[in-house]
């Protein structure tokens, strides 16, 4: 078991009686990177964030991953678990309308699948073909209802998160391409070591978990809030689980969950430790960013393409100009 698995088991256990929040934060603190990086396109929003020492807490629906903060729920399993309770309530309210004998009622209450057996009793006069057709239609409608419930539940939970993504690295050619406008943007370094242990910027910063499977909330939702072991933090895991295709990003996420913020907003993150310019940044944008960083006393360097390796390295502005990438005008 790696430290991330240990951490999530301590802070997001299915059973809240196993919660160890402070132990989890102490463990995470031992593995925090000294800095995190945010890749940016040059636009008015990113310039404003740089000037004001802010980041943008976004809604997951605006991210480039269609699965971001999503989870799956097996509502058929939940339905199965609650079927006996539902049937008892149904019979109490509507049983007198069904004209069932006491023996039939007794058999239904003793059945493992009382609703299926009730349907068979109600359709007893139908031909086998018609009976199977009606049952197939009911099953199809039920499955569609379960799929709709799962999607609606996932969207509802996802909308309760507001978050910002960072990376452990500033030299990813893919992230420079994807998030910094094809190497024409910039990357901001934020120092974590200067942030106090109890600060939300450190407390709510979590490592991303890469998996082949979506986060499954079925067992959690089966419990119900009245269960003494119900852990309302458990669903926060859905904001951290991503497909393994994203593993190269080495992502950390600042996550505000459970509707703490009901809309997207700027959030104070602190003065950047350093700013890195992309290899293809325009002269105009380079001058603009250098002016801001110089005025604010923020060190600035530029990424330089290695002469023989597929590798980017931060260099002085003068040294970085000596590379084979041409500026995109």
Q: Are 201 and 252 in contact (CB under 8 A)?
A: no
Amino acid 86: pLDDT? 65
pLDDT of 168 > 80? The answer is yes
CB-count exposure of residue 142 (10 Å: 0-12, 13-18, 19+): middle
pLDDT of 236 > 70? The answer is yes
Amino acid 82: pLDDT? 64
Mean pLDDT of 267-284: 97
pLDDT of 144 > 90? The answer is no
Residue 88: pLDDT band (50, 70, 90) is confident
> What's the rounded Cα separation, in Å, for the pair 69 and 237?
8
Amino acid 249: pLDDT? 97
Residue 138: pLDDT band (50, 70, 90) is low
Beta bridge partners of 38: 188
Amino acid 3: pLDDT? 97
Residue 328: pLDDT band (50, 70, 90) is very low
> What's the rounded Cα separation, in Å, for the pair 246 and 232?
27
> What's the rounded Cα separation, in Å, for the pair 201 and 255?
9
> Which is more confidently placed, 118 or 201?
201
Residue 77: pLDDT band (50, 70, 90) is confident
Pairing of strands 312-315, 265-268: unpaired
> Length of the chain, please?
329
Residue 152: pLDDT band (50, 70, 90) is confident
pLDDT of 177 > 80? The answer is yes
pLDDT of 326 > 60? The answer is no
Amino acid 329: pLDDT? 46
CA dihedral 311, 315, 320, 324 (to 10 degrees): -10
Rg (CA), the chain: 27
pLDDT of 254 > 80? The answer is yes
Tell me what the pLDDT averaged over the chain comes to: 88
> Scanning the structure block, which residue is given the tokens 């910094």?
180
Amino acid 220: pLDDT? 81
Percentage above 90 pLDDT, the chain: 57
HEC readout, the chain: CCHHHHHHHHHCCCEHHHCCHHHHHHHHHHHCCCEEEEEECCCHHHHHHHHHCEEEEECHHHCCCCCCCCEECCHHHHHHHHHHHHHHHHHHHHHHHCCCCHHHHHHHHHCCCHHHHHHHHHCCCCCHHHHHHHHHHHHHHHHHHHHHHHHHHHHHHHCCCEEEEEECCCCCHHHHHHHCCCCCCEEEEEECCCCCCCCHHHHCEEECEEECCCEECHHHHHHCCCCCCECCCHHHHHHCEEEHHHHHHCEEEEEECCCCCCCCEEEECCCCCEEEECCCCCHHHHHHHHHHHHHCCCCEEEEEECCCCCCEEEECHHHHCCCCCCCCC
């Amino acid at each position: 078991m790696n430290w991330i698995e240990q951490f999530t088991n301590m802070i997001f256990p299915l059973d809240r009686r196993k919660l160890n929040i402070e132990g989890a934060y102490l463990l995470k603190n031992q593995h925090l990177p000294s800095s995190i990086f945010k890749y940016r396109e040059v636009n008015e929003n990113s310039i404003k964030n740089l000037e004001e020492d802010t980041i943008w807490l976004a809604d997951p629906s605006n991210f480039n991953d269609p699965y971001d903060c999503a989870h799956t729920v097996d509502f058929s399993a939940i339905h199965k678990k609650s079927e006996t309770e539902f049937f008892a309530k149904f019979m109490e309210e509507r049983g007198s309308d069904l004209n069932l004998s006491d023996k039939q009622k007794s058999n239904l209450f003793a059945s493992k699948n009382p609703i299926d057996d009730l349907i068979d009793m109600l359709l007893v006069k139908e031909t086998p073909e018609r009976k199977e057709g009606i049952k197939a239609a009911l099953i199809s409608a039920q499955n569609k209802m379960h799929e709709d419930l799962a999607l609606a539940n996932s969207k509802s939970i996802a909308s309760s998160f507001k978050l910002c993504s960072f990376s452990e690295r500033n030299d990813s050619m893919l992230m420079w391409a994807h998030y910094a406008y094809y190497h024409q943007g910039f990357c901001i370094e934020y120092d974590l070591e200067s942030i106090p242990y109890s600060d939300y910027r450190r407390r709510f910063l979590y490592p991303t978990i890469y998996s082949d499977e979506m986060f499954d909330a079925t067992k959690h939702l089966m419990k119900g809030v009245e269960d003494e072991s119900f852990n309302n933090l458990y669903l926060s895991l859905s904001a951290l689980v991503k497909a393994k295709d994203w593993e190269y990003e080495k992502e950390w996420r600042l996550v505000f969950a459970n509707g703490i913020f009901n809309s997207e907003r700027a959030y104070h993150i602190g003065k950047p430790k350093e700013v890195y310019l992309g290899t293809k940044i325009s002269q105009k944008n380079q001058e603009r960013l250098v002016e801001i960083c110089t005025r604010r006393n923020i060190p600035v360097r530029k990424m330089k393409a290695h002469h023989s390796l597929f590798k980017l390295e931060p260099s002085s502005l003068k040294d970085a100009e000596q590379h084979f990438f041409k500026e995109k005008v």
